[in-house]
Structure 1
Amino acid sequence: MELPGVQLRTLRELTRSRTMTAAAAALGYTPGAVSQHIAALERATGTELVRRAGRRVELTDAGQTLAVHAERILGAQAEAVAALERARGEVSGRLRLGVFGTAAAVLLPPALRRLAARHPGVRVESREVDVDLAYTEVAAGRVDLALGLDYPDAPLDRDGALELVRLRSERFSLAVPEERSGAFGTPLPLGGAADCDWILPAPGSYYGRAVRTACRRAGFEPRVAHEVTDTATSLAMVGAGLGVAPLTELMLRLRSEGIVSLPLREVVERHIVVAVGAAARDRPSVAALIDALRAGAAP
C-alpha cells in the first residue's frame, strides 16, 4: 500500500478545515483536487475515509485513524531528512523559504549573504507568500519555513505541528507627513491621532486587526481613508500628505522621504517570526538559515 505525502497532507488539512473548499484554500489546490486526493487514499486503503454531513465532511473511524498516522508519517519523513543531514556531517541541503514584501527587501539579502559565507552548501529558494498565510504555507508543505508577523493584539493561529521562532520584536511608532509633524507632541498618545486620516491594511488582515484593536483600546476607531496593504505604498502616501500610518524601524528602511516617525506613548508591538515544522528544526540547514535570518533582523 502506497500513501503519498501530498495525499496525507490533504487528509490532515481536511481534519482541520472540515470542508473541501476550506481545505483547498489552505493548501492552494482546487476543491476538485482535494476530492481526488481523498478518493485516491480511499482506493489505496480500500475503505471509506470521509462522509458528507451537509456542507461539511466528517472523517469516518478509519479516516480518523489514518489522520493520526498521517501526522506521524509526515513527522517521520521530516525527521528522516534531518537525520540524513546530520549523518553527512556537513551543513548543506536545499530549502524553500516563504517571504513577504518587507522581509524580502530588508531581511533576506543580508541573511542570505551571511548564510552563503558560512554555509555555502545550503541552497535557499525563496518564494513570496501572503504574510498572513506563512503558517499555512509551511503546514501545507509548499515551503520548508516561512517568515511571518505575529501581533500580540491579533496573534497567529497555532497548532502543535509547527513552531514560531521569534527573530525580533518591534515597537510601532506613527509615520506622519513631515510638513505636519509640528502639530503633534512626543511621545504621542495614540488617541492624539484620532482626528487624522489613516492608511491601513484591510480589517480582515492580522496587521489591520491589530492596529484597529490598539486604537479601540485608546478610545477611538481609526478613520481609514486609504486601505493599502503594501508598506512602501502606504509610506509614500504618508509622505504625500494623505494620512498617517503605523511604522517600525524595518518598515522605515523601505522609505523615509517626507516622513517623520513619532514615538507612541502606548506599547504597540509586532514580532518577526519564522514558521517551521517542529521536526524540521533539527535539520542543520534549517538551524543555519534561522540563525542567519536572526542576525539579519538584529537592530
Structure 2
Amino acid sequence: MDWTSAQLRSLVELTRRGTITAVAEALGYTPGGVSQQITALEKATGMQLLRRVGRRVELTDAGATLALHAERILTTEAEAVEALERTRNEVSGTLRVGLFATAAAEILPPALRQVRETHPGVTVRSRDMDVDEVYDAVAGGSVDLALGLDYPDVPIPRDPSLRVRELSRERFSLAVPTGAMSGRPGRPGRPGRPGRQKVSLADTRDLGWILPSAGSYYGRAVLTACRRAGFEPQVLHEVTDTAATLALVEAGVGVSVVTELMLRLRPSCLDVLELHETMERHIVVVCRSFAEHRPTVAALVDVLRTSADRRPPERQRQSGNTHLTR
C-alpha cells in the first residue's frame, strides 16, 4: 500500500495521546496537518481508521490493527537507517533532537559547535518541547533523541524501549526577593554580612511560592520535598517558564527553587540561598534502545557527555545582579 512514514507516525501518536491536538503538538504539525495525514492514510488503505465520538476521535478496529503494525514498520525503518549509516565511511546523517528551554539555551549550542568540528557530516534538527513530553516523543519516533530531566523524588517511569543516560546533576537552591529572608531568626542575612547560614525549606512556610503545575514532574518533585520538610507550599503563581519565574521572584511576589543553569537564562536581582535539604535534578539524554549504537546518535551522545564532563561544578558565583548566599 502507498503510505508514508509521516502518516503512520501520526496514527501511532494518536494511540499514545488520544487527541489530534496532542498529536499535532508532539509532531510539530498543525491539527489540520495531522487530520490530512490520517485522511491520506485512510485513502491509501481504503478503510475508515477513525470515528468521531462527541468532540473526540477514536480508532476503529481497522485503525487499531494498523497502528499496531505501524509501530513495527517504523521500528524496522529506524533500524534500516542505522544499518545504512553503518555502511558509510564517516559519521553522517540527520538527527532530530527534542529539548527543553534550558537545554536549548545552555547545553545544545556548545555541543553543536563540537559536532560541526568533529562530525561535519551530521546535521542536527532540534525542536523545543515541554520537558515532560520528551520521553514520549522519543518513544513515538518523532525525535531520534532528546535532552530531558529526571528527579530522584519523582523519577520518570522507565520504558524498556528507551535508553536513559545521565549527563549531569544539579542541586537546587532557593531563590527569594532581595533581602526577603534577612532579619529573621535562623535565616541568613543580606549577602556580604557575616554569620550567614543555610536556609531550610520549612523556613518558607509563610511565604508564597512560584511553581509549575503540580501535575508536572518538576512541580511534584518540589511538593514532595516541601511535604517531607513538614509543610504544604502556598503556590500563588503557577508558572512553567523559568525566565518568568525569575522575573516574578525579582518582583517580590514569591520564592522558588533554582539551579545554576536556570539562573543563566535571565540576569536577575534576587538572593539565592543554599538549602539544608538536598534537592537535585538529573539532566539526561534519551534515545530508543535499538538506536543507541546508531553512529549519528552515538556521536551526539558522546559529545553531550564530554561536554557535561567539562562543565565546571556548581560554585559560588554572581550572575548579573543575582546574589548567591552560602
Q: What range is the shorter-chain TM-score in?
A: 0.7 to 0.9
How big is each residue's C-alpha offset from its partner over 1:5-64, in whole Å with a ceiling of 9 and x where there is no partner?
11211222233334555545544555555454444334333445455667552441x444
Q: Does 1:110 align with 2:110?
A: yes
What secondary structure, in the 3-state scheme, does the structure 2 residue paired with 1:179 have? coil
| Residue in 2 that maps onto 1:57 | 58
1:251, CA displacement in angstroms? 2.0
1:74, CA displacement in angstroms? 0.6
Amino acid at match of 2:293: D
State which of 187, 190, 204 in structure 1 corresponds to 2:201: 190
Q: Does 1:243 align with 2:254?
A: yes
Asked if structure 2 preserves the Cα contact closer than 8 Å seen for 1:228 and 1:234, the reply is yes
What secondary structure, in the 3-state scheme, does the structure 1 residue paired with 2:292 have? helix
Structure 2 vs 1, CA of residues 237 and 296 (structure 1 numbering), >3 Å: closer, same or farther? Answer: farther
The separation in 2 between residues aligned to 1:104 and 1:41, in whole angstroms, is 34
Q: Structure 2 length normalisation: TM-score? A: 0.77
Asked if structure 1 preserves the Cα contact closer than 8 Å seen for 2:26 and 2:142, the reply is no
Asked if structure 2 preserves the Cα contact closer than 8 Å seen for 1:174 and 1:261, the reply is yes
Asked if structure 2 preserves the Cα contact closer than 8 Å seen for 1:20 and 1:57, the reply is no
| Residue in 1 that maps onto 2:134 | 134
The separation in 2 between residues aligned to 1:241 and 1:51, in whole angstroms, is 51
Could you say what the CA RMSD is over the residues aligned between the two structures, in angstroms?
3.0
Asked if structure 1 preserves the Cα contact closer than 8 Å seen for 2:93 and 2:121, the reply is yes
What is the 5 A alignment of 1:266-277? 266-277=277-288
Q: Higher mean Cα deviation, 139-148 or 289-298?
A: 139-148
Asked if structure 1 preserves the Cα contact closer than 8 Å seen for 2:175 and 2:271, the reply is yes
Asked if structure 1 preserves the Cα contact closer than 8 Å seen for 2:135 and 2:286, the reply is yes
Q: Does 1:10 align with 2:21?
A: no
Asked if structure 1 preserves the Cα contact closer than 8 Å seen for 2:178 and 2:270, the reply is yes
Amino acid at match of 1:253: R
The separation in 2 between residues aligned to 1:49 and 1:24, in whole angstroms, is 18
Asked if structure 2 preserves the Cα contact closer than 8 Å seen for 1:15 and 1:59, the reply is no
Amino acid at match of 2:216: S
Amino acid at match of 1:104: A
1:140, CA displacement in angstroms? 5.0
What secondary structure, in the 3-state scheme, does the structure 1 residue paired with 2:76 have? helix
The separation in 2 between residues aligned to 1:228 and 1:64, in whole angstroms, is 37
Asked if structure 2 preserves the Cα contact closer than 8 Å seen for 1:27 and 1:136, the reply is no
Amino acid at match of 2:145: L
Count how many residue pairs are aligned between Structure 1 and Structure 2.
Answer: 298
What secondary structure, in the 3-state scheme, does the structure 1 residue paired with 2:221 have? helix
State which of 217, 220, 228 in structure 1 corresponds to 2:228: 217
Asked if structure 1 preserves the Cα contact closer than 8 Å seen for 2:92 and 2:123, the reply is yes
Q: Higher mean Cα deviation, 113-122 or 251-260?
A: 251-260
The separation in 1 between residues aligned to 2:47 and 2:160, in whole angstroms, is 28
The separation in 2 between residues aligned to 1:180 and 1:147, in whole angstroms, is 35
Q: Does 1:70 align with 2:70?
A: yes
Q: Which runs of 5+ in 1 are unaligned?
A: none
1:256, CA displacement in angstroms? 6.2
Structure 2 vs 1, CA of residues 235 and 25 (structure 1 numbering), >3 Å: closer, same or farther? Answer: closer
What is the 5 A alignment of 1:27-38? 27-29=27-29, 33-38=33-38
Structure 2 vs 1, CA of residues 120 and 11 (structure 1 numbering), >3 Å: closer, same or farther? Answer: same
Q: Higher mean Cα deviation, 209-218 or 27-36?
A: 27-36
Structure 2 vs 1, CA of residues 5 and 170 (structure 1 numbering), >3 Å: closer, same or farther? Answer: same
Q: Does 1:265 align with 2:276?
A: yes
The separation in 1 between residues aligned to 2:270 and 2:204, in whole angstroms, is 15
| Residue in 2 that maps onto 1:229 | 240
Q: Does 1:284 align with 2:299?
A: no
1:75, CA displacement in angstroms? 0.9
What secondary structure, in the 3-state scheme, does the structure 2 residue paired with 1:2 have? coil
Amino acid at match of 1:112: L
1:157, CA displacement in angstroms? 5.4
Asked if structure 2 preserves the Cα contact closer than 8 Å seen for 1:27 and 1:140, the reply is no
1:232, CA displacement in angstroms? 3.0
State which of 246, 254, 263 in structure 2 corresponds to 1:252: 263
Asked if structure 1 preserves the Cα contact closer than 8 Å seen for 2:9 and 2:142, the reply is no
Asked if structure 1 preserves the Cα contact closer than 8 Å seen for 2:50 and 2:57, the reply is no
